Amino acid sequence: QQKVQQSPESLIVPEGGMASLNCTFSDRNSQYFWWYRQHSGEGPKALMSIFSNGDKKEGRFTAHLNKASLYVSLHIKDSQPSDSALYFCAKSNTGYQNFYFGKGTSLTVIP
C-alpha cells in the first residue's frame, strides 16, 4: 500500500493566523497531488491541485511541491473559522487511476 503521511494530526490557529499542513509520500512515481477539505457531514471536496515542483497560489491558499524530497505542503493565510475542517493530501501516479489519501489534519480556527 502506498504511503501518504500527514502532519500534524490536529492544528489550532487563531483567526487571521497562518495554518501550515504537511504531507510526505513514499513513491517517487507520484505525479499528481491534491489537497481536499472535508467539513463535518460532507464528502471531501477538492481545494487545489499541484502537479509541478514549486509553489502554487490560489487566493489565501498556497501549495508547495518538492518531488525530489517527496514532500507537499499547504499554507492557509489569514485563516477563517470557516476553514475549520479535515484536510487531506492525496496523490496519484498517473492521474487516471487510484488516488491515495493521507489520514488527514484536523484544523480548528478559533475566532
Q: Is 99 in the site for other proteins (CB under 8 A)?
A: yes
Considering the complex, state which of residue 41 and residue 54 has its C-beta at the smaller distance from other proteins: 41
Among residues 39, 48, 34, the alpha carbon closest in space to that of 85 is found at: 39
Which positions from 71 to 90 touch other proteins by CB under 8 A, shown as an x/- string?
Answer: -----------------x-x
Sign of the CA dihedral running 76, 105, 87, 103: positive
Q: Is the peptide bond prior to 8 cis by the omega test (within 30 degrees of 0)?
A: yes
Q: Which residues of the chain form contacts with other proteins (CB under 8 A)?
A: 4, 6, 32, 34, 36, 41-46, 49, 51, 88, 90, 92, 94-104, 106
